[in-house]
Amino acid sequence: MSRSNDKASYLELVEQIESMDSKICDVKMSLKKLQNYLTMKICPEEEEICMDEIEADEAAHEAINELCLNILLESEPQGEA
């Protein structure tokens, strides 16, 4: 392989990593918004806290987080990268 091919391959890899990093940041922001929404829904004004509901929401949060990360890892790169 020539140096130009190595450099092109390296640049493509860097672009893919940057794209994945951007998607992960977007997912983190979405999950944070969801967490804030669920927190406000559960405890809007010092309401009684139900531990079962909190545990269920935490389990849902973990499941969504895992699902989103799996989708990112399994997705095919788009474009030329």
Q: What is this structure's pTM? A: 0.46
**Is the pLDDT assigned to residue 1 strictly greater than 60?**
no
Look at the alpha carbons of 59, 30, 72, 76 in this order and tell me if their dihedral is positive or negative.
positive
Q: Where do the structural domains in the chain lie, given as residue ranges?
A: 3-74
pLDDT above 70: residue 81:
no
Residue with tokens 């799996």: 70
Residue 72: what pLDDT? 79
pLDDT in tens, 4-42: 777 778 888 889 999 998 999 899 899 988 888 887 776
Three-point CA angle 75, 76, 78, nearest 5°: 120
Q: What is the pLDDT of residues 37-70, one digit of tens each?
A: 887 776 556 566 678 888 888 899 989 888 888 8
